[in-house]
Structure 1
Amino acid sequence: MRWTVLESPIGEFSVATDGAAVRGAHFGRVEGAADEPVDAVSTQAAAELRAYFAGELTDFTVPLAAPRGSDFERAVWAAMTRIPYGETLTYGEVARDVGEAGAARAVGVACNRNPIPVLVPCHRIVGAGGKLVGFGGGLDRKVKLLELEAGVALRRAWSGG
């Protein structure tokens, strides 16, 4: 697995690839990360992330490796990928969506263990009533990601496309 780091509005952001898929992402620079993409997948991931951060991309197409985790965690991570760009769900709503209505806290733990943040959008999950709570990358990054998506979604809605 090789790491590539790129600059973004939320600071340095590192992406790990294995030549076939993205296997991980990390807020900040991972030691030993390359400053330029190291393979075709990291080239695609970097391009898509740059377009996402520029407000030009709303859906990632770069291949993602199936992350390791419990059945529950994998169900939560899959649910995250179904939250539309520019929208949020609460931890409780995701718990209900994965068939564990009383597991809102466990959803929070699964979010914290998400190995591919941003590409698997754990930032789109919020506390009850829309409260901004918990984020492995820090709440300041969560706010920036949600503001980016909300702004793009509004501009697209107002422009009809």
Structure 2
Amino acid sequence: MTDTDAALGAHLDGLRAALATRADDAGLLDVAYRIVDSPVGQLLLAATPTGLVRVAFERQGFDAALEAIAAAVSPRVLEAPKRLDTVARELDEYFAGARRGFDVPLDHALSRGFRLAVQQQLPRIGYGKTETYAEVAAHVGNPRAVRAVGTACATNPLPIVVPCHRVLRSDGSPGGYAGGPEAKVRLLELERAA
């Protein structure tokens, strides 16, 4: 890469940032997103003015996640990292073992009904603790809905922040996870080590 190419790249980055700021300031930006690095791989973070609406693992496909957000929330989606600074900072603190819960506002626009009820229950599972799918089903008032709890965890649009990784099978095995079984085990180990 030449100095000219580097200067052009920096100039384009500055233009993109200015566009994102102007769009946000003018109320034209419905969904801002950014990609961050983490110990479990790159994560896509997306937020509406209401709050964090999506956390996606790279293996889920960032383009697919953005397309789903555009279809369900708004097509006015733009890479605008500034709106997600607080989320990124809280995730960094979490991965460093300095944060046990998240304080960022959440936008539950991608969940409804029983799935939403389950996802709202998940933050009540304490840091470093786990529950079974059956225990979560009982907590949300439907003890026989174990499979539905599994589906609610599998479709959780806010993994890590809404800790579906803390839900295990009745035999204590991790079960599935959107970020892959290795990511689920890594998150559990991180929390147990703190």
- Report the TM-score when normalising by structure 2: 0.72
Separation (CA, whole Å) in 2 of partners of 1:22 and 1:70: 16
Separation (CA, whole Å) in 1 of partners of 2:109 and 2:118: 12
> Where does 1:132-147 land on structure 2 (aligned, <5 Å)?
132-147=174-189
Separation (CA, whole Å) in 2 of partners of 1:20 and 1:50: 22
Separation (CA, whole Å) in 2 of partners of 1:6 and 1:149: 20
User: Which letter does structure 1 place at the counterpart of 2:180?
Assistant: G
Residues 1:71 and 2:113 are matched in the alignment: yes
Larger Rg: 1 or 2?
2
Separation (CA, whole Å) in 1 of partners of 2:101 and 2:34: 20
Residues 1:85 and 2:115 are matched in the alignment: no
Tell me which stretches of 4 or more aligned residues in structure 1 moved more than 3 Å. Answer: 31-34
Aligned residues with identical type, % of pairs: 39
Separation (CA, whole Å) in 1 of partners of 2:123 and 2:93: 18
Q: Give the secondary structure class of the aligned counterpart of 2:120.
A: helix
Contact kept, 8 Å, 2:53 with 2:110, in 1: the verdict is no
The match for 2:53 is: 23
Q: Which runs of 5+ in 2 are unaligned?
A: 1-30, 67-77
CA RMSD of aligned residues (A): 1.7
User: Which letter does structure 1 place at the counterpart of 2:174?
Assistant: L
How many aligned residue pairs are there?
Answer: 149
> Structure 1 residue 74: deviation in Å?
1.1
1:102-149: per-residue Cα shift (whole Å, max 9, x none)? Answer: 111110001011111110000000000311111121100000000000
Q: Which runs of 5+ in 1 are unaligned?
A: 153-161
Q: Give the secondary structure class of the aligned counterpart of 1:16.
A: strand
Contact kept, 8 Å, 1:3 with 1:30, in 2: the verdict is no
Contact kept, 8 Å, 2:32 with 2:81, in 1: the verdict is no
- More helix per residue: 1 or 2? 2
Which one of the candidate residues 42, 56, 61 is aligned to 1:12?
42
Contact kept, 8 Å, 1:76 with 1:98, in 2: the verdict is yes
Residues 1:95 and 2:137 are matched in the alignment: yes
**Larger deviation, residues 85-94 vs 21-30:** 21-30
Separation (CA, whole Å) in 2 of partners of 1:47 and 1:109: 29
Residues 1:130 and 2:160 are matched in the alignment: no
Contact kept, 8 Å, 1:3 with 1:16, in 2: the verdict is yes
